[in-house]
Amino acid sequence: MIPPTVDKSNSRNRATADSAERRELKWPMPTDRYMLWIDGVGAWQLCVGSQFLIGGPTLEDKAADICLMANLSRRHASLLRNGEDWFIHPHNSTVVSGRAVTGPTLLRTGDEICLAERVRLGFRIPSVLAGSALIDFESPHRPAHSVNGIILMTDSILLGPRRDHHVCCPDWPEVVVMYHQDGVLRCRSKASLSVNGVRVRDSAVLSDGAIVSGDDFRFRIEKLKA
């Protein structure tokens, strides 16, 4: 086993990286992909799971969870959340914040991920209240569909007016929480909201094509085909 590229003085990081590498052996794990359109704000790809494959386009196999229009292998690198930590597992040329990595490597918010020397992605965890991560584009390489970024949802994400929300929606009066429970997406908010025109009392299931609206906001979620 290739030793994880983490600080050798930190035994917790070494043990967590070893555990993350063992989990990767179970690949692939199911990942659901959605498009999230937010009126007046933008569009994001939402990936729901616990590990996410990054790669380039292919005509032969199922596309990667994060499929970029770039000269990458279909299985270039994978991202994995293990407990409170995130790791990247390189399968081909990968550099994290200027350092070439060859084994599972702990990611920190603000890290830059460089794949095949040209594709640059930003990694961050916007909120301390939810461990889900966000991928920003730092080079021109994008998915086939136009998006502002890619959200990696492992538990919940926050859509709202603050800059530390996963998507900052400056004009919204209140935060909307999206989360994954019992195999389905759900949402809740302190603000008054409706899903497909039906008022939400506590929380609501977000079915494919669901439209969520409030007094000052509106967004739509649609599942992407595999």
Q: Write the pLDDT tens digit of every residue in 175-219.
A: 999 999 888 999 999 999 999 999 998 999 999 999 999 988 999
Establish how many alpha carbons lie within 13 A of residue 175's alpha carbon, considering only the half-sphere containing its beta carbon: 17
Question: Distances in Å between the alpha carbon of 6 and those of 14, 109, 126, 131, 133?
Answer: 7, 15, 22, 20, 20
Contacts 24+ apart (CB under 8 A), 194-201: none
In angstroms, the CA 37 to CA 113 distance is 26
Please tell me which residue, 130 or 14, carries the higher pLDDT value. 130
Reported confidence tier of residue 27, pLDDT bands at 50, 70, 90: very low
Q: Is the pLDDT of residue 3 over 80?
A: no
Q: Which domains does the chain have, with CATH numbers?
A: 11-223 (2.60.200.20)
> Please, what is the average pLDDT of the chain?
87
100 touches 94 (CB < 8 A): yes
Reported confidence tier of residue 2, pLDDT bands at 50, 70, 90: very low
- What pLDDT, on the 0 to 100 scale, is given for residue 182? 87
Percent residues over pLDDT 90 in the chain: 74
